């Protein structure tokens, strides 16, 4: 579209008005970052880089290190990806390649509904349904028989890294699923038909085509899911146990960055305490920012490659 008739003052005014609103959005984004940095400064000055690599979290002595929170966030997100990626990719393949037409829309709709459920409801369900079931039927038997493996060591309480990871996986599956479906849809039809016409089975077609085309895209979808998982607050904090210790066993409680902010913000009395919590927020902000940017970059190169037919 060309610009409006030159010299029409009303057109210029309208364009400028919309630009002012657009500037407002830009301003809010900058303001958010600036406020996070400003409020974290006391903590950054006091602890420096040690904040990220030390594990003491002692509000009374005003000594803060965020490592246990960082560890819990990363490990629970990683567990979530381990569960979510195979399931999401598998069901994307099912919906796109195998499912009869009448089944595609309802399954897609249900996955969207899964994304619409508020996280506090996942947390509620996690506390009263998922955690007891996991504790009695998975964690206790496994800890009894395989407790010598450090990852499965007891005692089993229920709230744990594993519970958080599983709940998170349910929450991020819809995102990985929908991006995976888009990625699968970029495969040129002609290539699929070529494999089939050579006598390949459906599965061989999928294996060849996905191996050729979709691995980077699925990786992009995974990173996108990671971005979601890292910042999730309510569901995680309700089932992870909120204990700021670094424990190897996934049956043990842990903590998360978002959970620390959620639980302690209103109790943070001292200036330094509050600042340390905001700094956790700043680190989480930067972490998700980088992860989301990476996901976008990966998916963009994928799409541009697909459009060039490579």
Partner 1 sequence: MHAIAFRRRAADRATKVLFALCAFAVVLPLFLILFDLLWKGARELKWTLVTDLPHPVGEPGGGIANGILGTLTIAGLAMAGGIPLGVMSGIYLAEYGRGKFASAVRFSVDMLAGVPSIILGIFGYVLWVLPMKRFSAWAAASALAMIFIPTVVRTTEEMLKTVPVSVREGALALGIERWKTTLFITVRTASAGILTGILLAMARIIGETAPLLFTALGNQFWQTGLDQPIAAIPLQVFNYAISPYDDWHDKAWAGALVLIGMVLVISTAARYIARVKK
Name which of 17 and 301 has its Cβ closer to partner 1: 17
User: Which residue in 43, 76, 77, 119 binds partner 1 (CB under 8 A)?
Assistant: 119
What residues numbered 236-265 form the site for partner 1, per CB under 8 A? 238, 258, 261-262, 265
Q: Does 173 bind partner 1 (CB under 8 A)?
A: yes
What is the spatial distance between Cα 125 and Cα 123, in angstroms, rounded to a whole number?
Answer: 5
> Within its chain, how far is the Cα of 255 from the centroid?
16
Q: Does 297 bind partner 1 (CB under 8 A)?
A: no
Closest of 149, 189, 155, 162 to residue 309, by C-alpha: 189
Eight-state DSSP code of residue 255? -
Name which of 143 and 283 has its Cβ closer to partner 1: 283
Eight-state DSSP code of residue 199? T
Using the structure block, give the residue that is written with the tokens 């049956």. Answer: 251
What is the spatial distance between Cα 158 and Cα 290, in angstroms, rounded to a whole number?
Answer: 33
What are the b/e assignments for 68-78, b being 16+ CB within 10 Å? Answer: bbbbbbbbbbe
Q: Does 137 bind partner 1 (CB under 8 A)?
A: no
Name which of 62 and 271 has its Cβ closer to partner 1: 271
Q: C-alpha angle with apex 243: 240 to 245, nearest 5 degrees? A: 115
Q: Does 41 bind partner 1 (CB under 8 A)?
A: no
Q: Does 139 bind partner 1 (CB under 8 A)?
A: no
Q: Where are the alpha helices (DSSP H) in 48-139?
A: 50-53, 67-93, 101-116, 119-125, 131-134
Structure tokens at 84: 């979510």
Q: Does 30 bind partner 1 (CB under 8 A)?
A: yes
What is the spatial distance between Cα 121 and Cα 143, in angstroms, rounded to a whole number?
Answer: 29
Sequence-ordered strand ranges (E) for the chain: 57-58, 63-64
User: Which residue in 62, 98, 132, 198 binds partner 1 (CB under 8 A)?
Assistant: 98
Q: Does 120 bind partner 1 (CB under 8 A)?
A: yes
Q: Does 35 bind partner 1 (CB under 8 A)?
A: yes
Q: Does 310 bind partner 1 (CB under 8 A)?
A: no
What residues numbered 207-236 form the site for partner 1, per CB under 8 A? 227, 230-234
Q: Does 87 bind partner 1 (CB under 8 A)?
A: yes
Closest of 237, 256, 236 to residue 246, by C-alpha: 256
CB of 206 to partner 1, least distance (A): 8
Q: Does 74 bind partner 1 (CB under 8 A)?
A: no
Q: Is the peptide bond before 155 cis (omega within 30 degrees of 0)?
A: yes
User: Which residue in 128, 146, 248, 297 binds partner 1 (CB under 8 A)?
Assistant: 128
Q: Does 285 bind partner 1 (CB under 8 A)?
A: yes
Q: Does 202 bind partner 1 (CB under 8 A)?
A: yes
* Stretch near partner 1 under the rule CB under 8 A, chosen from 41-49, 123-131, 178-186, 245-253: 123-131
* Stretch near partner 1 under the rule CB under 8 A, chosen from 47-55, 86-94, 185-193, 300-308: 86-94
Say which residues have a Cβ less than 8 Å from residue 32's Cβ, sequence separation at least 6: none
Closest of 291, 108, 275, 273 to residue 182, by C-alpha: 108
Task: Report how many residues bind partner 1 under the rule CB under 8 A.
Answer: 85
CB of 259 to partner 1, least distance (A): 9
* Stretch near partner 1 under the rule CB under 8 A, chosen from 2-10, 57-65, 144-152, 179-187: 2-10
Q: Does 182 bind partner 1 (CB under 8 A)?
A: no
């Amino acid at each position: 579209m060309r610009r409006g008739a030159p010299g029409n003052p009303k057109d210029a005014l309208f364009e400028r008005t919309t630009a002012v609103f657009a500037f407002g959005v830009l301003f809010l984004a900058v303001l958010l970052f600036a406020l996070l940095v400003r409020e974290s400064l006391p903590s950054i000055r006091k602890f420096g880089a040690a904040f990220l690599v030390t594990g003491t979290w002692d509000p009374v002595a005003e000594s803060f290190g965020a490592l246990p929170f960082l560890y819990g966030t990363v490990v629970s997100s990683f567990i979530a990806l381990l569960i979510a990626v195979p399931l999401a990719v598998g069901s994307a393949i099912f919906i796109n390649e195998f499912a009869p037409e009448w089944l595609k829309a309802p399954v897609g709709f249900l996955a969207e509904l899964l994304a619409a459920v508020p996280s506090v409801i996942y947390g509620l369900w996690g506390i009263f349904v998922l955690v007891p079931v996991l504790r009695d039927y998975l964690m206790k038997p496994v800890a009894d028989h395989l407790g010598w493996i450090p990852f499965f060591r007891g005692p089993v309480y229920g709230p744990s890294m594993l519970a958080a990871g599983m709940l998170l996986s349910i929450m991020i599956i819809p995102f990985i699923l929908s991006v995976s479906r888009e990625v699968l849809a970029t495969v040129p039809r002609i290539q699929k038909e070529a494999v089939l016409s050579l006598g390949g089975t459906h599965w061989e077609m999928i294996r060849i085509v996905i191996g050729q085309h979709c691995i980077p895209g699925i990786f992009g979808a995974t990173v996108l899911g990671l971005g979601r998982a890292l910042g999730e607050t309510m569901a995680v904090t309700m089932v992870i146990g909120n204990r700021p210790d670094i424990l190897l066993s996934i049956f043990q409680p842990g903590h998360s960055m978002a959970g620390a902010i959620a639980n302690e913000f209103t109790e943070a009395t001292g200036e330094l305490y509050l600042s340390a919590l905001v700094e956790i927020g700043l680190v989480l902000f930067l972490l998700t920012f980088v992860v989301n940017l990476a996901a976008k970059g990966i998916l963009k190169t994928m799409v541009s490659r697909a459009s060039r037919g490579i």
